[in-house]
Amino acid sequence: MTIPNIYRKNQSRLNQSYDFNDIASGAGYVVFYGWVSQDDSAKDYHLTTDSTMKSDVIETDLGIGAGGIIGDFDFDSSELNLPRTIKGDVLVNVPIQIDDGAGAESAYVKVFVRKWDGTTETEIASTQGATETAIGERTFGILVNVPETNFKKKETIRITIQVTASNNASTHIGHDPANRDGTNITENTQIKIAIPFKVNI
C-alpha cells in the first residue's frame, strides 16, 4: 500500500534556508554583507550573502566632518527572483573609525531600509544610532523595525547608510565581507545586516 505524500506541494517553502530564526516573530533571518565593486569610472555598493567575498575597497575615507552628512551609501541586493515579505527587526552592524584628536569629535550612523525598482526608491523605515564621541574604532549596532512589506519579483532591497560627523572629525567606514584589515580600521570591517523574511509554512 502506498501512502501519498500530502506535503509534497509545500516542499520548496519548507526547504528555504535561513541563517537563524526568531521563534517569537516567526521570521527567518538572512545575513547580508555590504561590499564594494569598482570599475574605471565609479564605485558600486552591493549586498551579498557570501562572507568570503572580498570588497574591491576595504574601507572608504569620508574626509573631514563639518557638522553634516559626510557619507551616504546605497547597498543594494540583487533583483529578487520571487516575491518576498520582510517583517520585523533588521539588525545592522556598521564599522566606523573616527580620529579622536582632541577628544571632542563625534559621529553617528543612520540606517534606512528601502525598496528600489530601478526607477523609484521607496523608504520603509529608518533608525538613527547613538552619537559617539572620540570613539576611535567602533562597530555601531542599530535596529530598524520594519512593518510588513511586500517586495515584488525583480525589486531590490536597498539598505542606505548615512554617516554624520562633527567639525574636524576625520572618519572612515569599513565594508569588506571577508573582514580583512583596512588601513585605518582593523578591529572589524564587515557591514553586517540581518533581514527578517516572513516564513510561509
- Average of per-residue pLDDT across 30-58: 94
Q: What is the pTM of this model?
A: 0.87
- Average of per-residue pLDDT across 46-63: 95
Q: Which of 11-15, 58-62, 124-128, 169-173 has the lowest mean pLDDT?
A: 11-15
State residue 8's pLDDT score: 35
> Over the stretch 146-169, which tens digit does the pLDDT of each residue have?
999 999 999 999 999 999 988 777
Cβ pair 64, 169 in contact under 8 A:
yes
Domains and CATH numbers, the chain: 34-198 (2.60.120)
Cβ pair 189, 103 in contact under 8 A:
no
Reply yes or no on whether the pLDDT at 75 is more than 60: yes
Reply yes or no on whether the pLDDT at 121 is more than 50: yes
Dihedral sign computed on CA atoms, order 7, 12, 18, 24 = negative
Reply yes or no on whether the pLDDT at 27 is more than 90: no
Percent of the chain with pLDDT over 70: 88
Q: Which of 24-33, 67-76, 142-151 has the lowest mean pLDDT?
A: 24-33
- The C-alpha cell at 55 is 570588497
State residue 102's pLDDT score: 60
Residues 6+ apart with CB under 8 A from 29: 18, 19, 20, 21, 22, 91, 194, 195, 196, 197
Reply yes or no on whether the pLDDT at 46 is more than 90: yes
State residue 98's pLDDT score: 86
- Average of per-residue pLDDT across 99-122: 86
> Rounded CA gap, 134 and 132, in Å?
7
Can you count the helices (H) and strands (E) in the chain?
A: 1, 13
Residue 25 or 187, more confident: 187
